[in-house]
Amino acid sequence: MADIAIIGAGYVGLTTGACFAHLGHDVTVADVVPEKIERLNRGEIPILEAGLDELVAEGLEAGNLRFVLGAANACRTAEFHYLCVPTPQGSDGSADLSYLVAAAAEIKDILPANSVVVNKSTVPVGTTTVVEDVIRREDVKVVSNPEFLREGTAVSDFLHPDRVVVGAEDQEAAIRVAGLYARVASPVMVTDPVSAELIKYASNAFLAVKLTFVNEIATLCERVGADIDDVTLGMGYDTRIGRSFLRPGPGWGGSCFPKDTAALVRIAADAGCAFDFIEQAITLNTAHFQRTADKVESAVQGGVAGKTVAAWGLTFKAGTDDLRESPAIEVLARLGAMGADIVAYDPAVHGQLASLPGVRVVEDPYSAVDQADVLVVLTEWSEFKGLNFDKVGELMRSRTIVDARNLLDRSALKRRGFTHIGMGR
Ligand code: NAD
Ligand code: UGA
């Protein structure tokens, strides 16, 4: 079993660390935020991620998982050094590599001989070389090992991935990194670093384009009288298309698709090939946020200005507390600009949001709908399905629901006198 250092205790680093410990490795996770490290050492998980608390508790108890402040304290004796730091969108659309470069610079002089630096952050093609140039050590190899986990199902995705991708010039280093996943029963693909880096962006961009396609088809369904559920079901039977990632919604978002599509457009432009259709997908997705807000506007007699809009869901999808680039926030910001008075509820969000200054965030779904002129469902939390809709109807001023996730049982709502407006129906 290997000695692994993880740099960055966020969604990816924390999951990677806890899962590698679960697989039997000896893992030290480092971060720069002292209170995060203190909480983790007490077994408290700073993010919402199914199953992560059990794995962290297991590793702390077994003694093969620990948390330390500062990368240097994790890397001094480790054989593998995983970079899991943020790569946010820079001002020109490209990925900002400053955290990655800073982390590499921090550890370069203390890395043990013959150890391997592994990049798990999502980075543009050529970044393996950038990290090599920062480290400048003949006795240390740099390998790309992109991560494909989804938030909300991160632990399960890490332990049962569709594939593991390892990109390295040095075959021996590639085999050593691939060996860390020996107890993961998934295909491990070894390629060169540039291809590994591009696999990550191409996968995210492909999925984002797929979702834009679905949201556009949903809009077409509304115009021609088709039902998106039946259309996507019929499409999904074709194994070349597949059934997953065909759910329409208020637009795609999250911490990665927006920045990664922008970064791929930039990578392509720098390589001299314009990627217009990915740019078009980004533009259409932004337009779709407005389209969703317009749906709420037309659901209320006289429009939303001066009316009360209840919102269920703030996070970018269910199962996470992550609000980064959330479509719900995009839609609510537009409704706020249209003059709506908004009251929101989300099971993973407590307290008011700086990104939505005019929105009142409440602690239960019924308070949110009290005296509302319309309810908009923006995140697909399954708890919304089991609520008491007789009570919801009594509390609301008008029994109108815009269900931007097609989550609720429309026949049951109809029976209770609700007007239920979905996506693509
Ligand atoms: P995050 O913001 O949740 O976590 C990053 C952590 O790194 C933070 O806790 C931060 O304090 C820490 N950090 C920054 N600089 C550091 C340093 N020098 N030393 C130690 N710690 C440092 O980010 P994330 O969502 O985990 O994403 C990390 C990378 O993984 C990004 O490149 C992202 O694109 C990629 N990725 C994310 C996901 C996802 O679902 N979130 C999935 C696949 C890939
Ligand atoms: C996504 C990818 O799915 C992961 O493989 C990748 O590792 C990750 O980005 C990353 O690079 O960070 P994630 O952002 O956690 O994972 O979320 P997804 O489940 O992909 O959802 C992204 C957005 O698409 C959300 O807004 C979600 O609501 C939306 N979505 C997803 C739909 O509208 N319909 C669907 O059918 C699926």
Domains of the chain are: 3-191 (3.40.50.720), 193-425 (3.40.50.720)
Query: Comparing C-alpha atoms, which of 256, 266, 323 is closest to residue 126?
Result: 266
What is the C-alpha to C-alpha distance for residues 297 and 16, in angstroms, rounded to an integer? 43
What is the DSSP code string of 194-263?
HHHHHHHHHHHHHHHHHHHHHHHHHHHHHHHT--HHHHHHHHHTSTTT-SSS----S---SSSHHHHHHH
CA of 13, closest atom in ligand 1: 26
Q: Which residue of the set 19, 84, 221, 256 is catalytic?
A: 256
Answer whether 0.85 is exceeded by the pTM: yes
The predicted-structure confidence for 146-167, as pLDDT tens digits, reads as follows 999 999 999 999 999 999 999 9
For atom 6 of ligand 2, the residue with the nearest CA is 148
3-state secondary structure (DSSP) of residue 228: helix
The Å distance, Cα 135 to ligand 2 centre, comes to 33
Neighbours of 246 (CB within 10 A): 20
pLDDT in tens, the chain (425 residues): 999 999 999 999 999 999 999 999 999 999 999 999 999 999 999 999 999 999 999 999 999 999 999 999 999 999 999 999 999 999 999 999 999 999 999 999 999 999 999 999 999 999 999 999 999 999 999 999 999 999 999 999 999 999 999 999 999 999 999 999 999 999 999 999 999 999 999 999 999 999 999 999 999 999 999 999 999 999 999 999 999 999 999 999 999 999 999 999 999 999 999 899 999 999 999 999 999 999 999 999 999 999 999 999 999 999 999 999 999 999 999 999 999 999 999 999 999 999 999 899 999 999 999 999 999 999 999 999 999 999 999 999 999 999 999 999 999 999 999 999 999 99
β strands within 207-320, DSSP E:
308-312
pLDDT digits (tens, 9 = 90+) for 187-214: 999 999 999 999 999 999 999 999 999 9
CB 87 within 8 A of CB 201: no
Q: Between the CA of residue 393 and those of 369, 387, 398, what are the distances in Å?
A: 9, 11, 8
CB of 7 within 6 A of ligand 1: the answer is: yes
Q: Whose CA is nearest to atom 1 of ligand 1?
A: 10
254 Cα: distance to centroid of ligand 2 (angstroms): 7
Distance (angstroms) between ligand 2 centre and the Cα of 317 equals 8
Task: Give the H or E element holding residue 351.
Answer: none
Evaluate: CB of 84 within 6 angstroms of ligand 1.
yes
Is there an atom of ligand 1 within 6 Å of 86 CB? yes
Distance 352 CA to ligand 1 centre (A): 24
How many C-beta atoms surround the C-beta of residue 37 within 10 A?
Answer: 21
Phi, psi of 318 (to 5 degrees): -75, 155
Going from the Cα of 370 to the center of ligand 2, the distance in angstroms, rounded, reads: 32
Integer-rounded Cα Rg, in Å, for the chain is 23
> For 66, how many CA atoms within 13 A lie in the half-sphere containing its CB?
13
Distance, in Å, from the CA atom of 273 to the CA atom of 268, rounded to the nearest integer, reads: 5
Eight-class DSSP state of 386: G
Q: Are strands 26-31 and 3-7 parallel, antiparallel or unpaired?
A: parallel
CB 91 within 8 A of CB 260: no
Nearest C-alpha neighbor of 311 from the set 320, 326, 322: 326
Reported in sequence order, the residue ranges of 214-299 that DSSP labels E, i.e. its strands, are: none
Assess whether the C-beta atom of 361 lies below 6 angstroms from ligand 1: no
Indicate if 19 belongs to the active site: no
Of 250, 153, 237, residue with least CA distance to 211? 250
Residue 242, CB-side half-sphere exposure with 13 Å CA sphere: 6
For ligand 2, mutation pick of 244, 256, 379 (most atoms within 8 Å of CB): 256
Q: H-helix or E-strand containing 420?
A: strand 419-421
